[in-house]
């Protein structure tokens, strides 16, 4: 996931406060010497609900379960 | 009912794509020129979203813009990712994007997979939401009106089988559905009405009068000329026979009431939600286009298009068609025993389509409801033609090739659009979009719409 994509993404969990789903917090294993330009493994966390969306192999998975949608 | 709609799509869209994704890798699906042009017309630096991007074939068309693809199907997205595309997994009905962030959005061969009108509207509205005012959207959906033939109904199930996913069969006129051919399966596994026959299996098995039977793998026998010593006309006849059974149509409109009825029925029959391995009968309404009792209606036009997947009409003379029905009956009967006309069909890839009418259940029952529409409709006619022997041998060796073919057929759900339907859908339900143009392109209805504001 590139930085620009992150700029466009927001949490789509139901029942959030207005604007509560953006921006998603990027959670990656800290590597101080390497700036995170593209996230390959990690999570995007919804600031309002705390829901974590996984990123694997550079692909964020933003699918919600039926209860969350 | 939302639940039934999601179950249907889970079973007959998502699961099919997931299971068949690996084979999409090989298929160089056609990038529709109009879509390419739409993408190339976007200003450099634009943000462009491909909603339902599949393996991402449109994501590399215009390198001057930022292309973001998303799809519900993880395996397909992985393939796109391997090509270094920027992709993510999400649901068209609940896009994880902010409002008004894209300059352009494309939806190519996607919303025809939504099983209710409400969901199709929602998909379009979601895409409109993420478009900036003045931004444009292009939507492609499969058309009910096809070249030389028509789907009889708008809600259809299209079989897919991996054996037909090869470069040879790379072209079709469906957006994103390449290699969507079907093939012969073991006769005893399938209800006769569900049989679909490939060109190749017939051609590999058409034995000239004198040659001994020799086996061909699918790969070797893709050339039509292979092994063929019969006339070109007969060749086309057998191909047409195959193509004529290529798809199995179910005649319902999947509105809520139909889905609810079907869901109730399903619940009565087996575990809720467990559609995958059911042996629920295939239910055909009386209006099923492949009700073979009305085969006369299928004999319409003369042209056979090799690239067509769906051919409802055959360029056959009537007697040949009757021969075909006999052959089909035989084919359906464990290699040619007529007595098996009422054979109990076995549990296999029987797919249940949501239909309204339960009176027409046929075949695929564990209790062997032998009263199949097929058995009623196959009428024996005079079979004294010289082509008889070729047919017989085609039938009898059908089983041999099955070993080389994956007999599991996935049924993919589509709602095909009538002319004007997509436009009306947008005009009446998505006021935030203004339609700029609409056209028919390679078997698809296409619109370009602009976000107002």
Residue B131 near chain A (CB below 8 Å): no
Q: Whole-angstrom Cα distance, residue B357 to residue B75?
A: 36
CB crowding B280-319: b at 16 or more within 10 Å, else e: bbbbbbebbbbbbeebeebbeeeebeeebbbbbbbbbeee
Min Cα distance B91 → chain A (Å) is 6
Best B66, B96, B122, B131 residue to mutate vs chain A (most A CBs within 10 Å): B96
Q: Using omega within 30 degrees of 0 as the cis cutoff, is the peptide bond preceding B364 cis? A: no
A10-58 pLDDT, tens digit each: 999 999 999 899 999 999 887 767 766 899 999 999 999 999 999 999 9
Among A5, A8, A62, the residue with its CB nearest the CB of B89 is A62
Residues in chain A closer than 8 A to B68 (CB atoms) = 5, 8
Residues of B in contact with A60 (CB under 8 A): 88-89, 96
CB-based burial label for B403 (10 Å; 0-12, 13-18, 19+) = exposed
B257 exposed, middle or buried (CB, 10 Å; 0-12, 13-18, 19+)?
Answer: exposed
CB pairs under 8 A between A and B: 61
Give the number of other Cβ atoms within 10 Å of residue B220's Cβ.
Answer: 12
* A53: exposed, middle or buried (Cβ count in 10 Å: 0-12, 13-18, 19+): buried
Strands B410-415 and B155-160 come out as antiparallel
Give CA B88 to chain center in angstroms. Answer: 25
Q: What are the two backbone dihedrals, phi and then psi, of residue A52, each rounded to the nearest 5 degrees?
A: -105, 130
Q: At CA B220, angle to CA B219 and CA B223, rounded to 5?
A: 100
Chain A contacts in chain B segment 36-65 (CB below 8 A):
47
State residue B267's pLDDT score: 59
CB contact under 8 A, B96 and A11: yes
Chain B residues in contact with A61 (beta carbon < 8 A)? 74, 88-90
Residue where the block lists tokens 């309404």: B285
Looking at residue B239, its pLDDT comes to: 53
The angle subtended at Cα B80 by Cα A11 and Cα B62, nearest 5°, is 90
pLDDT at B409: 73
- Residue B124 is predicted with a pLDDT of 98
**Which residue in chain A is spatially nearest to B91 when comparing CA positions?**
A63
| Chain A residues close to B77, C-beta within 8 Å | 59
Report yes or no: B355 at the A interface, CB cutoff 8 Å.
Answer: no
DSSP β-bridge partners for residue B241: none
In a 3-state reduction of DSSP, which class is residue B296? helix
Query: Could you write out the DSSP letters of every residue in B14-79?
Result: IHHHHHHHHHHTT------HHHHHHHHTSPTT-EEEEET-TTTTTTTS-TTSEEEEEES-HHHHHH
Distance CA B419, CA B183 (A): 30
Give B7 to chain A, closest Cα distance, Å: 12
Residue B334 to residue B398: CA distance in whole angstroms: 10
**In B30-65, which positions are buried (b, 16+ CB within 10 angstroms) versus exposed (e)?**
bebebbeebbeebeeebbbbbbbbbbbbbbebbeeb
Phi, psi of B436 (to 5 degrees): -95, -40
Write out the two tokens for B337.
């025993």
Max alpha carbon distance in chain B (Å)?
Answer: 74
Per-residue pLDDT tens digits for B352-381: 333 333 333 333 334 433 343 333 333 344
Cβ-defined contact of B88 to A69 (cutoff 8 Å)? no
Whether residues A61 and B98 touch (CB distance < 8 A) is answered with: no
Q: Is the ipTM of this complex over 0.90?
A: yes
Percent of all residues in chain B with a pLDDT value above 90, rounded to a whole number: 38
Helices marked H in B344-434: 373-377, 388-396, 398-402, 421-429
Q: Is the pLDDT of residue B119 over 90?
A: yes
In chain A, residues 3-62 whose CB comes closer than 8 Å to chain B: 4-5, 7-12, 22, 53, 57-62
Tell me the pTM.
Answer: 0.61
Quick one: DSSP state of residue B423?
H
pLDDT digits (tens, 9 = 90+) for B32-69: 899 999 999 999 999 999 999 999 999 999 999 999 99
CB atoms A62 and B90 under 8 Å:
yes
Nearest to B94 among A12, A22, A60 (CB): A12
Answer left, alpha or beta for residue B130, where phi above 0 means left and psi between -120 and 50 means alpha: alpha
Contact residues on chain B for A22, CB-CB shorter than 8 A: 98
More confident residue, B281 or B140: B140
B211 token code pair:
């040659």
The answer to whether the Cβ–Cβ distance between B88 and A63 falls below 8 Å is no
């Amino acid at each position: 996931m590139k930085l620009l994509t992150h700029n466009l993404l927001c949490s789509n969990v139901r029942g959030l406060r207005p604007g509560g789903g953006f921006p998603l917090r990027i959670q990656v294993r800290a590597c101080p010497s390497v700036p995170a330009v593209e996230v390959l493994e990690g999570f995007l966390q919804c600031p309002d609900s705390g829901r974590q969306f996984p990123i694997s192999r550079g692909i964020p998975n933003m699918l919600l379960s039926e209860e969350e949608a | 009912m939302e639940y039934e709609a999601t179950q249907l799509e889970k079973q007959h869209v998502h699961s099919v794509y997931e299971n068949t994704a690996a084979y999409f890798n090989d298929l160089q699906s056609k990038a529709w020129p109009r879509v390419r042009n739409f993408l190339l017309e976007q200003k450099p630096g634009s943000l462009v979203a491909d909603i339902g991007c599949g393996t991402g074939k449109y994501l590399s068309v215009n390198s001057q813009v930022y292309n973001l693809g998303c799809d519900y199907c993880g395996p397909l997205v992985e393939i796109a990712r391997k090509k270094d595309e920027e992709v993510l997994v999400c649901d068209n009905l609940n896009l994880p994007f902010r409002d008004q962030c894209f300059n352009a959005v494309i939806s190519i061969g996607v919303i025809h997979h939504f099983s209710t009108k409400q969901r199709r509207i929602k998909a379009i509205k979601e895409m409109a939401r993420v478009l900036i005012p003045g931004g444009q959207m292009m939507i492609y959906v499969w058309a009910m009106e096809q070249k030389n033939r028509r789907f009889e109904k708008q809600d259809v199930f299209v079989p897919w089988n991996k054996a037909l996913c090869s470069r040879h069969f790379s072209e079709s006129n469906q957006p994103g559905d390449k290699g969507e051919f079907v093939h012969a399966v073991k006769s005893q596994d399938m209800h006769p009405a569900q049989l679909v026959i490939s060109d190749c299996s017939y051609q590999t098995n058409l034995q000239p009068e004198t040659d001994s039977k020799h086996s061909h793998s699918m790969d070797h026998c893709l050339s039509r000329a292979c092994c063929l010593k019969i006339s070109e006309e007969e060749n086309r006849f057998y191909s047409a026979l195959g193509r004529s059974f290529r798809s199995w149509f179910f005649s319902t409109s999947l509105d809520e009431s139909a889905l609810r009825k079907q869901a109730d029925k399903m619940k009565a029959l087996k575990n809720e939600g467990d559609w995958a391995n059911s042996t629920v009968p295939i239910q055909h309404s009386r209006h099923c286009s492949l009700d073979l009792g009305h085969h006369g209606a299928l004999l319409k036009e003369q042209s056979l298009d090799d690239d067509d997947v769906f051919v409802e009409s055959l360029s056959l003379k009537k007697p040949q068609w009757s021969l075909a029905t006999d052959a089909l009956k035989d084919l359906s009967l464990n290699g040619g025993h007529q007595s098996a006309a009422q054979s109990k069909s076995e549990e296999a890839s029987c797919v249940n389509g949501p239909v309204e009418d339960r009176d027409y259940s046929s075949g695929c029952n564990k209790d062997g409801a032998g009263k199949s529409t097929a058995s009623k409709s196959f009428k024996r006619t005079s079979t004294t033609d010289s082509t008889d022997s070729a047919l017989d041998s085609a039938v009898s060796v059908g089983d041999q090739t099955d070993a080389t073919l994956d007999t599991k057929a996935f049924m993919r759900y589509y709602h095909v659009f009538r002319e004007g339907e997509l436009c009306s859908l947008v005009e009446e339900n998505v006021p935030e979009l203004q339609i700029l143009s609409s056209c028919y392109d390679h078997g698809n209805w296409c619109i370009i719409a602009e976000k107002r504001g």
